[in-house]
Amino acid sequence: MSLNNQWMQRDLAVLWHPCTQMKDHEQLPLVPIKRGEGVWLEDFDGKRYLDAVSSWWVNVFGHANPRINQRIKDQVDQLEHVILAGFSHQPVIELSERLVKLTPAGLDRVFYADNGSSGIEVALKMSFHFWRNTGQERKKRFITLTNSYHGETIAAMSVGDVALFTETYKSLLMDTIKVPSPDCYLRPEGVSWEEHSRVMFGQMEQALAENHQDVAAVIIEPLIQGAGGMRMYHPVYLKLLREACDRYGVHLIHDEIAVGFGRTGTLFACEQAGIAPDFLCLSKALTGGYLPMAAVLTSEAIYQGFYDDYQTLRAFLHSHTYTGNPLACAAALATLDIFEQDNVIEANKALSARMASATAHLVDHPHVAEVRQTGMVLAIEMVQDKASKTPYPWQERRGLKVFQHALERGALLRPLGSVVYFLPPYVITPEQIDFLAEVASEGIDIATANSTSVPVSGRHPNFRDPG
């Protein structure tokens, strides 16, 4: 039995994997990874896979990056962890100073959590609590966009719109106000991204006008709705939303957990609209993809809404055990050093252009409705009918065919439903981008062969799955 097989069997005897129908592994081999280096992951039988999805969008400077490794090694000899309530440490102070400097003006306070969903919970609770502390108890609802994703905990699911969850767990969720997404895939023919985003903003304006007295915050994924299929929209929406939130006295929460740290072409997506949200949630690439950590940045004004004598009970008594973990902070500091020293955002422009040119031919593919791109994220939408953009029935699991083909060819491409996308580490080379485009094209040809016209019932229930 191969080493891969041995590890797979031991794994399947005891593990329950995330976002997986475990029965799939009766047919679909699990890939046990032995080591990583740069964009490559290597299994126990020595086969390599190019990590085109940055291992769930976290990795930015490659696996086992020597500069990040060294910083963590140095830190582990110094201090591995310390409680962050009543105590502090050098990496968390330095990281907070740097995040405040790097993010738009007005975000002056940093609160830590230990994964993206927990970061979202922090922002939602802080917003609600701020209004309560300032005597506006009515403001406790949240506005969110359709097709959005903010994580898996109960409140994060409540502000998300992934059909499987809203259906299965509906009775557990908070009642939120859902406004149609500015998703430009759905724009009428001949209409620009900017115009469509402006027009769609009308419905947000209306929701705010009608509900603002009861609304604590609007929460959005800026520019790219990731788990919802890498659907994209124009920065003008963010600008209009900032202005409206100010007008109506509603907080704006930017969930940049997936899009922060250069994915959209700027260090943070909000820069493209020239605005600052009231809460900026960061995670994933924050630590270069090494360790789980989230940071929620907010304003001094919101911080002051909690600052009082203990007996007033205004404090934000929220904590996660590993808050501000020194090893995670060290990884984050090393990551920020690389962004700065290597002028990464500028250098990425050439890679982003190469992603576009390498996939340009797919625009004419008979089963590709759209090839869209924002910065370092490129998505290819497979459909059964190009002219009408009729999707494939999700039950056919066309994306899974691309995933399987890519594995054979030595790439980790994990489509979201029928959306094949590249979200690679920034250490990818132009030639490796060409290789990915080749693998994706072949995979799309295989997956879209035999496209008989079938009626479609409902959209894919869970876009995080490649099914």
Footprint on this chain of ligand PLP (rule: CB under 6 A):
115-117, 120, 149-151, 221, 226-227, 255, 257-258, 283
Closest CA to 201 of 219, 183, 186: 183
Q: Would you say 283 is a known binding-site residue? A: no
* DSSP-derived 3-state class of residue 380: strand
For the bound state, the minimum distance from the C-beta of residue 148 to ligand PLP, rounded and expressed in Å, comes to 8
- In the complex, minimum distance from the CB of residue 150 to ligand PLP, in angstroms, rounded to a whole number: 5
Beta strands in 256-301 (DSSP E): 279-282, 294-298
Q: Is 41 left (phi over 0), alpha (psi -120 to 50) or beta?
A: beta
Question: What sign for the dihedral angle of Cα 309, 311, 312, 316?
Answer: positive
Judged by CB, which is closer to ligand PLP: 305, or 466? 466
414 is in an annotated binding site: yes
Residue 133 CB, nearest approach to ligand PLP (Å): 26
Please give the full DSSP string across 297-336, using - where no structure is assigned: EE-HHHHHTT-S-GGG--S-----TTTT-HHHHHHHHHHH
DSSP 393: P
Residue 120 CB, shortest distance to ligand PLP, in Å, is 6
321 is in an annotated binding site: yes
Nearest residue to ligand PLP, using CB?
116
What's the min distance (Å) between Cβ of 270 and ligand PLP? 14
Nearer to ligand PLP, 55 or 134 (CB): 55
Closest separation in Å from C-beta 123 to ligand PLP? 11
Closer to ligand PLP by CB, 143 or 258: give it: 258
Nearer to ligand PLP, 117 or 352 (CB): 117
User: For residue 422, what are the β-bridge partners?
Assistant: 378
In 3D space, the residue among 297, 303, 364, 292 whose CA is nearest the CA of residue 332 turns out to be: 292
Return the residue matching tokens 């409902």.
458
357 annotated binding-site participant: no
> In the sheet where 251-255 sits, what is the strand order?
109-113, 294-298, 279-282, 251-255, 215-220, 141-145, 177-179
**Tokens representing residue 391 in the block:** 């999707």
Name the amino acid, one letter, at 215. Answer: V
Q: By the 8 A CB rule, do 177 and 144 touch?
A: yes
Residue 319 annotated as binding site: yes
Tokens of 263: 């994915």
| Nearest distance, CB of residue 153 and ligand PLP, angstroms | 7
Residue 7 annotated as part of some ligand binding site: no
Beta carbon nearer to ligand PLP, 270 or 358: 270
Q: Residue 140 annotated as binding?
A: no
What does the block give as tokens for 21? 């129908």
| Residue 238 vs 447, nearer CB to ligand PLP | 238
- Whichever of 115 and 323 has its CB closer to ligand PLP, that residue is 115
Residues 6 or more apart whose CB falls under 8 angstroms from that of 384 comprise 367, 390, 391, 392, 451, 453, 454, 456
Is the CB of 150 or the CB of 405 nearer to ligand PLP? 150
Closest CA to 217 of 255, 165, 162: 255
Write out the DSSP string of 198-229: HHHHHHHHHHHHHHGGGEEEEEE-SSEETTTT
- Between residues 149 and 426, which has the closer beta carbon with respect to ligand PLP? 149
Minimum distance of ligand PLP from residue 257's CB (angstroms)? 4
Is 284 annotated as a binding-site member?
yes
The least distance separating ligand PLP from the CB of residue 375, rounded to whole angstroms, comes to 15
* Residue 376 contacts residue 265 (beta carbons within 8 Å): yes
Among 43, 14, 9, CA closest to 26: 9
Binding-site residue set for substrate: 56, 149, 284, 319, 414
Residue list, annotated binding site for pyridoxal 5'-phosphate: 116-117, 255, 320-321
